[in-house]
Structure formats: structure tokens, C-alpha cells
Amino acid sequence: MSVFSDATIDHFEALGRRKLSTELNLRVVRYSPVITAGTDTITLPADCQDIICITYRGLPLYTIKSRNYMSQGTPFYQNRSIPLGYIFDKITAISTVKLYPIPSESLASGNVDTGVLTSCIITYRALCDASNPCPSWFERRVLKYFIAYNLYSLEGKAQNLKLSMYHKKRFEFRLEHFKTQLVNFYFGPRQLVIQGLSMMGINWRRRNLPVLPARYGRPDDNSMVNR
């Protein structure tokens, strides 16, 4: 029988998952909040750790970095009825954002795939937990070091600080290993595909710029023709 209770092990397992998901880009979630006319604040989901982008009716909102700029309230901004940007509302809570200018319309929560044009969508990096675990191909081999180094450092008859330090170093080493591996996953295949695709002196490297239809697929608009 283990000297550590299941509850203690589960606790460190949860902490380990949180640690992994803050260190690595493991899970991206898209979420559509309800927008109420005249209300600027959006509460973010509890598992949100980092916003990647926010779109409002399909258009991206930009981060407003200067509060002074916002408070001065330029006429241009005051006349707008839909948001152009957002700020993190860190004064009241870290888990909210404020839209600016304040929307004058209400939007229902929409489908994150088909409702892009009619709703506000937040794309964010999410924390992992027991119901949304880290990918199985590496979680077990990293988490066991994290759990072991925490358990061996607990006060009691099983305390072994030397072993705890060993597992901590192994955890950090493994974490770096998988960080590298994830970067390879995200960018490596492109290198494999691009490298040396040539024969008889013909360079088969692929183009850098996308080939898109006229006016980037926008519908015909007389004001834009041949400009």
C-alpha cells in the first residue's frame, strides 16, 4: 500500500497538468460569448490562460495597449457602435476583457465554425485538466516525474529530498525534450517537405505567397475594381 493517499497523488496530478499546459501550447479552444448592448465586459472561461485572438463578426479586434488613448475618447472611436479593440480588465479580474468602443448591439452566442459572421469569438489557449488531459503520448512520462518530486518532498516518513531533487531535474529535462518535440511537430514537417525538393536543377521550392482569387475572394464591389 502506498504511503501517499490517492487524494494527494490526484492533487499533484492536477497541478502537473496545469503546469504542463502553461508551459506548452497543448490545447486551443474557441468560445463564443454573449454580447449585450451597452455592456463592455466579457467574462472569460475559467480554463482560459492566454487569448490568441478575438473576432467580432469575423473581423479581428486588436489589443488596445494604451489606456490613455482609450480614455481620451477620440471622436472617431466615440462614433463607432461596434468594438474595434479590447483590453484586459486586470483591475477587477484577470478573467475579463473589455470591448472598446462599447457595442451598441446584442449578439447571441454562436457556433464557432458557422457563426463567425454573426457572433463574437474568442480563441484562447486553454488549461488541461482531468477531463481535457494533455496528449497521451507524452503526459504519462512527464507527469510521473512531477508527481514523484512533489511526493518525495512532503514531510513524513517517505520524505527523500535527494530523490525529490532527482525527479525534479528529470521533470525539467523531460519538459524541455517535449517542448522541442512540439516545436518540431508544428514547424518540422514544413522543413522536411521544403528541403531539397529538386531534380535536374529545377527548384521545386514552393512559393512564399498564396495564390488567391481576385480581391481576395471578396464579392464584387465597384469602388474596389482595379484599384
Q: Are 124 and 49 in contact (CB under 8 A)?
A: yes
With the CA atoms of 72, 73, 75 and 76 taken in that order, what torsion angle do they form, in degrees rounded to the nearest 10? 110
Single out the residue of 65, 157, 206, 227 in contact with other proteins (rule: CB under 8 A): 206
**Which is nearer to other proteins, 7 or 193 (by Cβ)?**
193
Single out the residue of 2, 207, 226, 227 in contact with other proteins (rule: CB under 8 A): 207
Residues 6+ apart with CB under 8 A from 83: 56, 61, 99, 100, 101, 102, 103
- β-strand 59-63 against 85-88: which pairing, if any? parallel
Single out the residue of 38, 156, 201, 213 in contact with other proteins (rule: CB under 8 A): 213
**Which is nearer to other proteins, 30 or 41 (by Cβ)?**
30
**Does the protein bind other proteins through residue 52 (CB under 8 A)?**
yes
**Does the protein bind other proteins through residue 76 (CB under 8 A)?**
no
What is the footprint of other proteins within residues 96-115 (CB under 8 A)? 112-114
**Does the protein bind other proteins through residue 30 (CB under 8 A)?**
yes
Long-range contacts of 76-82 (CB under 8 A, 24+ apart): 77/101, 81/105, 82/56, 82/57
What is the footprint of other proteins within residues 133-162 (CB under 8 A)? 135-138, 140-141, 162
**Shortest distance in whole angstroms from residue 181 CB to other proteins:** 6
Q: Are 126 and 29 in contact (CB under 8 A)?
A: yes
Question: Which residue type occupies 30?
Answer: R
**Does the protein bind other proteins through residue 201 (CB under 8 A)?**
no
